[in-house]
A and B are shown apart, each in its own frame.
Chain A
Amino acid sequence: MSGMRGLSVFISDIRNCQNKEAERLRVDKELGNIRTCFKNDKGLTPYKKKKYVWKMLYIHMLGYDVDFGHMEAVSLISAPKYPEKQVGYIVTSCLLNENHDFLRLAINAVRNDIIGRNETYQCLALTLVGNIGGREFAESLAPDVQKLLISSSCRPLVRKKAALCLLRLFRKNPDVVNADGWCVLNTLLFQFIDVPFIFSSSYAYRADRMAQLLDERDLGVLTSSMSLLVSLVSNDYEGYSSCLPKCVKILERLARNQDVPQEYTYYGIPSPWLQVKTMRALQYFPTIEDPSTRRSLFEVLQRILMGTDVVKNVNKNNASHAVLFEALSLVMHLNAEKEMMSQCVALLGKFISVREPNIRYLGLENMTRMLMITDAQDIIKKHQPQIITSLKDPDISIRRRALDLLYGMCDVSNAKGIVEELLQYLSTAEFSMREELSLKAAILAEKFAPDLSWYVDVILQLIDNAGDFVSDDIWFRVVQFVTNNEDLQPYAASKVREYMDKIAIHETMVKVSAYILGEYGHLLARRPGCSARELFGILHEKLPTVSSPTIPLLLSTYAKLLMHAQPPDIELQKQIWNVFKKYESSIDVEIQQRAVEYFELSKKGAALMDVLAEMPKFPERQSSLIKKVEDVEDTADQSAIKLRAQQLPSNALVLADPQPVNGTPPPLKVPSISGIKLDHESASQTQSQPNGDLSKVQSQIPSADLLGEMVDPLAIEAPPVDMGSHQRVYREEDGIPDEVDGTAIVPIGDQANKVEPIGNITERFNALCLKDSGVLYEDPYIQIGVKAEWRGHHGRLVLFLGNKVTSPLTSVQALILPPAHLKLELSLVPDTIPPRAQVQCPLEVMNIRPSRDVAVLDFSYKFGTSMVVSAKLRLPAVLNKFLQPLQLTSEEFFPQWRSLSGPPLKLQEVVRGVRPLSLSEMENLFNSFRVTICPGLDPNPNNLVASTTFYSENTRPMLCLARIETDPADRTQLRLTVASGDSTLTFELKEFIKEQLIAIPMGSRALVPAVPVPAAPLAQPPSPAVDANDPGAMLAGLL
C-alpha cells in the first residue's frame, strides 16, 4: 500500500492546510474529483477505485459527510483479488453502520466468502460482520458462522473471529438468532420433528457446545469464546452450568501459569484479559453449588488477592490490578467467606490512599459497590476521612466517585459530618458538579437529619452557598417541612431573618424568606428588628433586585404582613398600599392581579383574615428530590443511587400497553428498578413493536435501550407455538396454471366483509414493478409494504406487514402461488400481528427461466372475531427485476447484433397503439425497467438502441439487445426488434417491452391479450452446452 501516492499526496495536502477553511476547500475539491470518477466508472481500474475509497474513508474520518460512493466501497467486497477485497471490507465496515441500506447489497458476497474455502476471505468477511453485522446479517449468516466456530477443520485464526462474529449477531439481534443464539442450529436441525422436543433439548445442547468450546487449547480462540460466553450468560445464565467448572479450571490454569505459551503472557502475567473475562463470566451465575469447584475457585481468588503487589512497571501494575479488581468483584458477588470479604475491604482501604490515581479511583468505585453488602459498611466508615480528602482531589473523576461513595455510605450516625463536608465543598466545586452535589446534600439532610432545625440550617446554607444550583424542588421541600412542623416555624423564621441581613442574597433565598416571613413572621413580633414594618422594610429592599416571578410572592407576603400587624399600623398600610397601586398596572398579569386583589381585600379588613389565613398542612408525600436524583443522574448512577432506591419504598411502575386490548390480561405491576433506565416510554415502545422495528430500536445508542434489546427476543416468543405447521411453502415445480393469469387477480371477498383496499392495487403493483420499495396493499387494518433487492437471478423481498389498529390481527396466513419459472421461499409469517406492530417476512426469490408470469400472494387475516379479510396480490417479482443495466459501446454492440440473426433468437414486430411518448420519455421508460439505452449508436436519431443482461438459473447471465424504430410522424406505432442468445428470453422480453409501451401508466395487464406460448422447440430452454457456444452469453459472461 506504500505505493499509493495519490493518497499520500492528499494527506499531506490536508496537513499543509493553514486553517479549517482551506482544509474544507481541499476536501471539497477531492470529493468532487472522486464523484466524477465514480460517475463514469467504466474506466476505473481496481487500483484507482481502491485509492478513492481510501480517500473517502480518510475524509470521513476527518469528520466530513461522505454521502456517496458507498456503493463503490461495497462493490469492492466482491472483487476477485485480495487487495481490493480487503479495502472493500474495511472501508465498508467503517463508513456504514448496521442500519445502512447498502449493506443489504453485500450480504450475498459476504456469505459467499464465509462459506467459501479461502480462509483469508473468511476472516475478512467475519470481521466485517462482527463489526457491523445488523439484523439482516444475523438472519442470513448466523448458521454459517456457527458452523465455522464448531468446525474442527478451521484454523484458530478463523474460529476466534467466528466466535466474536456470533457474539455480535447474538447481541444485536437476539430475536433473529432466536432468543439465544446457540440453539439456532439446533432449531434448524429439528425444525420438522417435534416442537416440545426442541424446547427440552436445546438447553443441554447449546450448553454442551459452549462447554466444548471452553476446552479449546488455543488461547486466542479461548479468549473469544469466553467473550461469547459472557454475553450469553449475561442474557441468561440458565443452562450453562456445565461451563462453570470449566471456567474455574481455566482460571486455575492461568493463575498458576500452567501451560500458558510465552506469547500469551503480558508483562509476565498469563493473559490478564482472559483471566478478567473468565471471572466476569462467573459473576453472572448466582452461586456455585459444587463444593469442590467452589473450593478451587476460592483458592485461586485468595491467591490473586494476596499475591498482587504494587510494582514499578505501569503496565504490569495495571494488568495485575485489572485482574485483582475483577477478583474483588467476584468475591463481592459470591459474598460468602467472611474472612475474604474483610480482606477485600482492607485492600480497598489501602487503595483509596495510594498515590496512583487509577487505583485510587477504582478503590473508591469498588468501595461503593461494597456498600451493597451490609456488614461492610462499618468498616468502610472508618475510611471516611480519607474519602473526604478525595473529595478535594484535583481529578474530577475521582471527586465524583468520592461524592458517590459519601452519598452511599451516609446514615444517621455520620450524616452531620458528611453533609457539612459536602456544603463546604460546594463553594469550591466546579459548576458541572454543583447541581448534583446540592441535590445530594439536600436529600441526605432530609433523610438523616438528627433534628429538623439542622435540616433547615443545611438547606438555607445550601441556598446561600450555591443558590443557582438549588432547584425549586429543594426550597419547596423545606417550606413543606416548616409548614408541617409547628415547632420549627419560629426557628425557621428567625433563621431566614438572619440571612436577610446579608447584603447580597440569592433570589431563591428571597423567595424562601418571603414565604416563611409572610406565614410565620408574626411569631417573631416581639424580637428586636422583627416588627411587621421592619420586616416589610427589609424585604422591600430586595424587591428591585428580583425577577418578575418572585414579585407576586413578595406581594403576598406584604398582604400577610399587613394582616398580622398588631396593632394595625397605618404607616405600614400606607406604604404597602402604595406598592399595590404601583403594580396595579404591571404588564405581568400575575403581578397585576395580585396587586389589585390584595389592595381591594385589604380595604375590607375582615375578609382579608379569611383569605390570608395560615396555610394548611401539606399531605405527607415522598420527596420528589429522590425521584429527581434518579432521573438527573447520568454520570454516577451506579451503585449508590441504586442502593438508596432500594431502601425506599419502591414506587410501582405500570408496564403495559397503553391501550387495553381485548383478551389481554390486566397490566402487571412491576416494581421499578431504578438502576436501569426503565421508563414507560421505552417499555411501551418495545412492547408495541415486538418484532423489532429495525429503524426505531436500533438507531438508539445501545445501552440507552438495554431493556428494549431484552424485550425483543422475548416478545417474539409468541408465534413459535406451532412453528412447524405454519411454514407452508408452496414449491410446485409444475407451476400453477390458471390462477396466475392477470385477470384473476383481484382481492376476493370485497363485498363479503366490506373491507375496501385503500388505493388501487393494480397501480400499486405497476409502480412496484419499476421501483424496489413501496406499498403493495393497504386497507383500514393492515398495510403491506415491500422492499426488494435483486442480485443476478436471486432476489430478496421483505414483506412488511403493519397492523394499523390497536387490536391484534389474528389467523394471519400468507401463501405463495409461484409460477413455474420462479422458486419462492417465504419465511414464517406469524399467526398474530400485535397491535400497531410491524412484522417482517423475508421472501427469497430465484429465477429459473425467463417468463412473464407473475407470482401471487394469497393473503388473509382475521380482524376481531369474525371478519375475515383476504386478498390475492401479485408480487412484483417480474421479468425486469432480473435484468442488470448494461451500457455497450458500438464496438461491443454491433458484432453481437449481427451474430444474432433472425428468429427465433431475434424477433421483430411492428407495435401499434403505443402510448405516444417523446424519445426522451421513452428513454426514461426503458431505463426505468433496467434496459439501458445506449445513446448515439444508431445513426438514425429517431431510433433507440438498448442493451441489458438477464439472469436466470437456466440461462446464466444473458446479453439482450433491443432496437426501437420510431416514426416521428405517427408516435403511436413503432418497430421493435429484440435479440438475445435464448429464444424464450427473446420472446418474453419482446412481449414485456410491448406491454410496457402499451400499458404505461394507466392500463392493467388484463388489457393485453394473453400471448400464446411460442412453439414447442422455442419454449425449451437451451441446454448449458448450447450456452457455452453462445456468443451473447459469452460476452455477458466476460462483462
Chain B
Amino acid sequence: FSLLSSCFPRSCTFYLVLCIILFLLAQESWVCVLYFQIHFVLLVSRQGKVRLTKWYSPYTQKERSKVIRELSGVILNRGPKLCNFIEWRGYKVVYKRYASLYFCMCIDEADNELEVLEIIHHYVEILDRYFGSVCELDLIFNFHKAYYILDELLIAGELQESSKKTVARIISAQDQLVEAAKEEASSISNIIAQATK
C-alpha cells in the first residue's frame, strides 16, 4: 500500500482505490448489501390506532407518520386467509393479527419472512406470559411494559434473546428494582413526615 502511495499523488490513489473497490463490489452484487433485519415494529389496532412503534432505522417524525398511515391502510384492508407478508416500497412487511391487534415488522426483501413471523409470535407469547393472557387493554395501559419487553427481545432490529424464560427473568428483575426504589422513596418520605410532625 505504501509503495502505491509513493508513486501516485494521494488524491489519485484515493480515487483509484475507490474505483477498484466499487468495481469489485459491482461484480459480486449480493455480497455488498449490508444485512439488516428489522427496520421497525408497529402495533396497530383494528381501528387503526397505534399501540406501539419502535424504529430501528432512522426515520424522521414525518416519515414515521407517513409509514404508519400507509401501512395500516394496506394491512387493515387485507382479508383473513391471505399470507402474512406484503410487499411495500421495496421492503417486506410481515404481520400477524392477534385478536384486535396487528403486529407488523418491516424487513428487507431478501430476508427470511417466516423467521420474523415467529419473532412476532415469540414476542406475543412473552407478553402473554407477563400479563397473563394479554389483551389489547393491557398493552394500552401498560405500553411502557411492552416497550421494556421489546427491548429485551430486539436490539438494533436483531433478535437478542430466544429464551422466553430469560426474558421473563430479566423483566421481573427490572420490576423488582423499580419496586425497591419505590419502597425506599416511600420509607424516606415516611421518615420525613414523622420528623416534621
A119 to chain B, nearest CB (A): 11
A172 to chain B, nearest CB (A): 8
B36 touches A664 (CB 8 A): no
Instruction: Please indicate the chain A residues that have their CB under 8 angstroms from the CB of B98 in the complex.
Output: none
Q: Taking the complex as formed, is A237 at the interface, i.e. its CB lies under 8 A from any CB of chain B?
A: yes
B170 to chain A, nearest CB (A): 7
Q: Taking the complex as formed, is A594 at the interface, i.e. its CB lies under 8 A from any CB of chain B?
A: no
State the CA gap A98–B174 with chains docked (Å): 26
Shortest 3 CB-CB distances between A and B: which pairs?
A322-B114, A357-B83, A168-B156
Q: Taking the complex as formed, is A280 at the interface, i.e. its CB lies under 8 A from any CB of chain B?
A: yes
Q: Taking the complex as formed, is A99 at the interface, i.e. its CB lies under 8 A from any CB of chain B?
A: yes
Q: On chain B, which size bracket covers the interface?
A: 35 or more
Closest B-chain residue to A714, C-beta based?
B21
A655 touches B19 (CB 8 A): yes
Q: Taking the complex as formed, is A834 at the interface, i.e. its CB lies under 8 A from any CB of chain B?
A: yes
Q: Taking the complex as formed, is A611 at the interface, i.e. its CB lies under 8 A from any CB of chain B?
A: no
Q: Taking the complex as formed, is B163 at the interface, i.e. its CB lies under 8 A from any CB of chain A?
A: yes
B31 to chain A, nearest CB (A): 6
A223 touches B161 (CB 8 A): yes
Q: Taking the complex as formed, is A154 at the interface, i.e. its CB lies under 8 A from any CB of chain B?
A: no
Q: If A97-B59, A714-B21 touch, does A220 touch B178 (CB 8 Å cutoff)?
A: no
Q: On chain A, which size bracket covers the interface?
A: 35 or more
B22 touches A655 (CB 8 A): yes
Q: If A54-B144, A220-B163, A357-B83 touch, does A319 touch B158 (CB 8 Å cutoff)?
A: no
Instruction: Please indicate the chain B residues that have their CB under 8 angstroms from the CB of A160 in the complex.
Output: 160-161
State the CA gap A196–B2 with chains docked (Å): 8
Q: If A61-B143, A398-B83, A676-B32 touch, does A157 touch B170 (CB 8 Å cutoff)?
A: yes
A663 touches B160 (CB 8 A): no
B68 touches A397 (CB 8 A): no
Binary contact readout A222-245 vs B (1 if CB under 8 angstroms, 0 otherwise)? 011001001100111100000000
Binary contact readout B110-133 vs A (1 if CB under 8 angstroms, 0 otherwise)? 101111011101100000000000
A702 touches B57 (CB 8 A): yes
Within 8 A of B (CB), among A633-671: 634-638, 642, 655-657, 661, 663-665, 667-668, 670-671
Within 8 A of A (CB), among B119-163: 119, 121-122, 140-145, 147-148, 151, 155-156, 158-163
B35 touches A322 (CB 8 A): no
State the CA gap A776–B93 with chains docked (Å): 47
B142 touches A264 (CB 8 A): no
Within the complex, which residue of B13, B59, B181, B185 is in contact with A718, where a contact is CB–CB below 8 Å?
B13
A269 to chain B, nearest CB (A): 9
Beyond the given A82-B181, A357-B82, please list 5 additional residue pairs across the A-B interface where CB-CB is below 8 A: A63-B68, A83-B177, A220-B160, A318-B118, A701-B57
Instruction: Please indicate the chain B residues that have their CB under 8 angstroms from the CB of A699 in the complex.
Output: 58, 60
Within the complex, which residue of A286, A668, A675, A808 is in contact with B11, where a contact is CB–CB below 8 Å?
A808
Within 8 A of B (CB), among A652-703: 655-657, 661, 663-665, 667-668, 670-673, 675-676, 678, 687, 690, 698-699, 701-703
| 19 CB < 8 A contacts A-B | A63-B68, A86-B174, A93-B151, A94-B55, A131-B54, A131-B151, A132-B58, A134-B58, A220-B162, A231-B35, A274-B162, A635-B90, A663-B9, A663-B11, A678-B26, A701-B63, A703-B90, A706-B33, A707-B32
B145 touches A1 (CB 8 A): yes
Q: If A196-B1, A326-B112, A711-B22 touch, does A224 touch B147 (CB 8 Å cutoff)?
A: no
State the CA gap A65–B178 with chains docked (Å): 30
Within the complex, which residue of A97, A273, A397 is in contact with B115, where a contact is CB–CB below 8 Å?
A273
Closest B-chain residue to A126, C-beta based?
B155
Instruction: Please indicate the chain A residues that have their CB under 8 angstroms from the CB of B155 in the complex.
Output: 126-127, 130-131, 161, 164-165, 168, 224
B178 touches A1 (CB 8 A): yes
Instruction: Please indicate the chain B residues that have their CB under 8 angstroms from the CB of A263 in the complex.
Output: 163-166
Within the complex, which residue of A94, A98, A397 is in contact with B86, where a contact is CB–CB below 8 Å?
A397
Instruction: Please indicate the chain A residues that have their CB under 8 angstroms from the CB of B110 in the complex.
Output: 638
Within 8 A of A (CB), among B1-23: 1-2, 5, 9-19, 21-23
B58 touches A395 (CB 8 A): no
Closest B-chain residue to A229, C-beta based?
B35
State the CA gap A397–B113 with chains docked (Å): 13
A722 to chain B, nearest CB (A): 8
State the CA gap A714–B34 with chains docked (Å): 14
A711 touches B63 (CB 8 A): no
State the CA gap A584–B58 with chains docked (Å): 59
Instruction: Please indicate the chain A residues that have their CB under 8 angstroms from the CB of B55 in the complex.
Output: 94, 97
A721 touches B1 (CB 8 A): yes
Q: Which of A63, A271, A357, A394 has the most CB of B within 10 A?
A: A63
B151 touches A61 (CB 8 A): no
Instruction: Please indicate the chain A residues that have their CB under 8 angstroms from the CB of B147 in the complex.
Output: 90, 94
Closest A-chain residue to B11, C-beta based?
A808
B158 touches A227 (CB 8 A): yes
Within the complex, which residue of A12, A361, A702, A710 is in contact with B25, where a contact is CB–CB below 8 Å?
A710
B35 touches A234 (CB 8 A): yes
Q: Taking the complex as formed, is A982 at the interface, i.e. its CB lies under 8 A from any CB of chain B?
A: no
Binary contact readout B44-61 vs A (1 if CB under 8 angstroms, 0 otherwise)? 000001111111111111
Instruction: Please indicate the chain B residues that have their CB under 8 angstroms from the CB of A223 in the complex.
Output: 159-162
B156 touches A171 (CB 8 A): yes
Binary contact readout A194-236 vs B (1 if CB under 8 angstroms, 0 otherwise)? 0110010000000000000000000110011001001100111
Q: Taking the complex as formed, is A321 at the interface, i.e. its CB lies under 8 A from any CB of chain B?
A: yes
State the CA gap A678–B23 with chains docked (Å): 12
Instruction: Please indicate the chain A residues that have their CB under 8 angstroms from the CB of B29 in the complex.
Output: 642, 673, 675-676
Closest A-chain residue to B64, C-beta based?
A63
A709 touches B83 (CB 8 A): no
Instruction: Please indicate the chain A residues that have their CB under 8 angstroms from the CB of B13 in the complex.
Output: 718, 721
Binary contact readout A375-403 vs B (1 if CB under 8 angstroms, 0 otherwise)? 00000000000000000001111101000
B15 touches A664 (CB 8 A): yes
Within the complex, which residue of B114, B143, B156 is in contact with A358, where a contact is CB–CB below 8 Å?
B114
Q: Taking the complex as formed, is B81 at the interface, i.e. its CB lies under 8 A from any CB of chain A?
A: yes
Instruction: Please indicate the chain B residues that have their CB under 8 angstroms from the CB of A992 in the complex.
Output: none
Instruction: Please indicate the chain A residues that have their CB under 8 angstroms from the CB of B28 in the complex.
Output: 286
Binary contact readout A136-178 vs B (1 if CB under 8 angstroms, 0 otherwise)? 0000000000000000000001001100110110010000000
Q: Taking the complex as formed, is A276 at the interface, i.e. its CB lies under 8 A from any CB of chain B?
A: yes
Instruction: Please indicate the chain B residues that have their CB under 8 angstroms from the CB of A65 in the complex.
Output: 61
B156 touches A167 (CB 8 A): yes
Q: Taking the complex as formed, is B65 at the interface, i.e. its CB lies under 8 A from any CB of chain A?
A: yes
B19 to chain A, nearest CB (A): 4
A276 touches B115 (CB 8 A): yes
Q: Taking the complex as formed, is A818 at the interface, i.e. its CB lies under 8 A from any CB of chain B?
A: no
A220 touches B114 (CB 8 A): no
